[in-house]
Amino acid sequence: MGLINNDVYTASNGVQKTGAYICFANETLYLTQQGTFAAGLPSGNAEASSEPVYHIRANYRVYWDKEARESGKGFIDLQSVSTTVPRSQLSSSLYERLYDVLKETYPNSVDELTVRAPPAAPVAQPAPVASEPAASEPSAPAASEPAASSDPVAPQ
């Protein structure tokens, strides 16, 4: 899972690239408790909650393009992204939350999963056609037609 940045990306060393590939690769996600939602709201606020808030942070890597990432080439830049979530949202995908922040940071990016071509439909095999007997093969008598007998006593 990653983002393809359609804007010009300028790496920390000055390299500029359109179509850079941004992903978390094998980076560790860090989660720390920061306090509660009520800590930042005025006292007496009806929306104030004492639910703990967590800070999520991870480094992300910027590659020249998706092919560079898939072929094992080195990244061109390393950055960090973070956000906060209440404890009630910790069961959601934390990487998806960070990807949402990256999409805000790089608004002209496309999610890699939307770029992939849909899988090809399976090709149906044609049904086997019943073959007609070859000219050298004798044909079987029809079911309504009595079989001819070579017995001289049998009625014909």
pTM of the model: 0.63
> Is residue 81 a part of any domain in this protein?
yes
Measured distance CA(62)–CA(135) in Å, rounded:
71
pLDDT in tens, 22-35: 999 889 999 999 87
> Is residue 58 a part of any domain in this protein?
yes
> Is residue 122 a part of any domain in this protein?
no
> Is residue 144 a part of any domain in this protein?
no
> Is residue 32 a part of any domain in this protein?
yes
Question: What domain range includes position 60?
Answer: 3-114
Look at residue 151 and tell me whether its pLDDT is greater than 60.
no
Look at residue 16 and tell me whether its pLDDT is greater than 90.
yes
Measured distance CA(29)–CA(103) in Å, rounded:
18
SS3 content of the chain, % helix, strand, coil (to 5): 20, 30, 50
pLDDT in tens, 104-149: 999 999 998 765 555 555 666 666 666 655 555 555 555 555 555 5
Look at residue 88 and tell me whether its pLDDT is greater than 70.
yes
pLDDT in tens, 34-83: 877 555 555 555 555 688 999 999 999 999 999 999 999 999 999 999 99
CA angle (120 as vertex; 115, 116 as ends), nearest 5:
10
The predicted pLDDT at position 2 comes to: 93
Q: What's the structural domain count of the chain?
A: 1
